[in-house]
Structure 1
């Protein structure tokens, strides 16, 4: 049961107990009145001959407003009060739910903005607008500056509601923030790319009526090189191989076995194990060209920084390899064709955990939006 339901039950119990107690008191008073009427120092009206005894009214527990009983009106008032309290609580719950939904929406917009322009991996490019501008006007111009070399460029806006968010049609923004990614898997942002970016940024700013704030090139280049060193040192891909124990496998037969194992076959010939949320855990290569009809070796490959620790990509890949080993009559081997024992696989799993710790310490958790941008 929810907290609201428990609260309503508790309040109802208190009101019912109050009504019950009140009626008991009234009943007690009525009983005392009867006792006094039948006391020894009073005449027994029931013993008077020829007289009609007075009509006796017992306390009533009816909730009918017209009922003559003493407790009926109070019961109705208690029920009405309980309904009023319940309605008040319902209103508070609805307001609380609305506030929580609004907060969740704000958090979602903030996360979306951070995924586009991230101070941890981007060079920030503030733009002060001369006046508030609509997203409809800004977007066509901003979309002309999407890349600096092979580094993506993104923009977010500070809305009139006082929040940073992705720029959308219908939004109104008082200032902008650009960001160019400092490094990728292949290279760091270099002087030529940055110079070209600044030139194009100023031209674009003039078109939308904004004044850009351009960071110092020397500082930006130093940050870019530091980030790229980290990316290069953590660009880890782990492979597990399956070697046929007999004749090579026919590709046509192999495709069916891999699909039963859960792999998606991509148009380019890649085999990918989906993670259930639109991403992938690991991939598989047949180690031959599309023109080949057979293969004697399969390689399962895990892109370590792109898979969150909670998904246990390495554990899932090893489990898949063991299943295929039985299904295809194969042996799990390393890159040098040496069998991989369970102890060796457990040792590698420990190294993967150490790798995840290092990425967390650098505030670039494996599988996060930040990591996916750097290691895409």
Structure 2
């Protein structure tokens, strides 16, 4: 072999080594960032996200179920029909009341409920075994995020309430339908005009992220793994309340056979304003979490359209939210209250 041939062979070999090295470097550079081995966040299921007692209500909603011993109906957002028991029939056992309840707790898209006046506690509550009730009341919600109560839904409410009344020996007194439907429309108009849901996006500047890397960084800020793949939540201070914030990313990445190789290029933070108590300072915590995640994960905070968000923009949003909070409180629908969580659901 001539010196020229040897030289070309050596040069070719060096070039091949260079290509392999470059490809290896690029592969490592572009690989999803991984969580530190000594601080892995276990992807265990957490129960901080509330679930409705009514099986028909979607589990992904963020509304809080009302405890069975506390009244759920409120004249502010419900149609309420008194169900007066015949003196000869009162009191009615909780077992009999439960057996008389309809199979579904909805009238169309609106929650339907029956409460009994407990003879021992002298309080309204959902019927419970072992209790006795001297009277009942049935109610249907005037509005929620599906819209206002309409005539068909009101008629379904009447049918269900009448059937329950007949079963327990009670006489119902229904409000005028047209008045209640008009009240529902007014409430729906107010709610629609004051329903705020905010979302920020944190996008990777360079290398993508693995699910474990996202979990690890979010956990440092107090987020815990939720019940849905690709979802983490920041719990409220009071146990049993809806989460303050929701962090989400591609569920397919979370469900992959090898999550470490799943490439996540953006995550989102979501705040449902009406569901979180003002005292929790939810927007401030959302803003701080977004910038902390961006700094820790080499990302940038943007809106849904990919436009970077500056601190000045955040200050404008914060000011507008204070006005919204005040308006809701003036209407007795303070953010995070039981009635607000039900109306904005």
TM-score normalized by the length of structure 2: 0.71
Corresponding position of 2:70 = 112
The reply on whether 1:261 has 2:221 as its aligned counterpart is yes
Deviation at 1:321, TM superposition (A): 1.3
User: In the alignment, does 2:185 pair up with 1:222?
Assistant: no
Query: Which moves more between the two structures, 270-279 or 206-215?
Result: 270-279
Deviations 1:156-201 (A, max 9, x none): 2233358332133333322111111111111221111211221232
Q: Which moved more, 1:231-240 or 1:352-361?
A: 231-240
CA contact (8 A) 2:102 2:160 kept: no
1:65-214 alignment, distance < 5 Å = 112-113=70-71, 116-131=72-87, 132=90, 133-144=92-103, 146-160=105-119, 163-166=122-125, 167-214=127-174
Could you say if the C-alpha distance between residues 110 and 208 of structure 1 is closer, same or farther in structure 2, counting changes exceeding 3 Å?
A: closer
Q: Counterparts of 2:141 and 2:172 in 1: how far apart (Å)?
A: 17
Shift in Å at residue 358 of structure 1? 0.8
Question: Which of the residues 197, 200, 210 maps onto 1:237?
Answer: 197
Number of the residue aligned with 2:245 = 282
Question: Is residue 112–residue 157 contact of structure 2 (8 Å, CA) maintained in 1?
Answer: no
Pairs within 5 Å for 1:325-364: 325-364=294-333
User: Relative to total residues, which structure has the larger helix share, 1 or 2?
Assistant: 1
Q: Whole-Å Cα distance in 1 between the matches of residues 252 and 175 of structure 2? A: 47
Larger radius of gyration: 1
- Supply the RMSD in Å over aligned alpha carbons: 2.4
Contact map agreement 1:245 1:331 (CA 8 A) in 2:
yes
Partner of 1:271: 232
Q: Are the aligned partners of 1:151 and 1:184 in contact in 2 as well (CA < 8 Å)?
A: yes
Q: 1:286-325 residue pairs with structure 2 within 5 A?
A: 286=249, 289-290=252-253, 293-325=262-294
Matched-pair contact (CA < 8 Å) for 1:287–1:299: no
TM-score (ref. length: structure 1): 0.66
- Whole-Å separation in 2 of the counterparts to 1:178 and 1:202: 9
Quick one: distance in 2 between partners of 1:238 and 1:126?
A: 39
Shift of 1:236: 0.9
SS in 2 for 1:284: strand
Q: What is the number of equivalent residue pairs in this alignment?
A: 267
Measured against aligned partners, the alpha-carbon deviations of 1:332-354 in whole angstroms (never above 9, x if no partner) come to 22233332222221121111111
Offset at 1:253? 2.7
Residues 102 and 164 in structure 2, CA contact (< 8 A), matched pair in contact too? no
Matches for 1:25-104 after TM superposition, within 5 Å: none
Q: In the aligned structure 1, how far is the partner of 2:227 from the partner of 2:122?
A: 42
C-alpha distance in 1, partners of 2:188/2:273?
Answer: 17
Tell whether the 8 Å contact from 1:288 to 1:295 is kept in structure 2 after alignment: no
Q: Deviations over 1:264-290 (max 9, x none)?
A: 222422221112423311111225744
Would you identify which runs of 4 or more consecutive aligned residues in structure 1 move more than 6 Å?
108-111
> Residue 119 of structure 1 aligns to a residue in which SS?
coil
Aligned residue for 1:44?
none
Is there any run of 5+ residues in structure 1 with no aligned partner, and where?
1-107
Greater relative contact order (CA < 8 Å, ≥ 6 in sequence): 2
Distance in 1 between residues matched to 2:106 and 2:305, nearest whole Å: 41
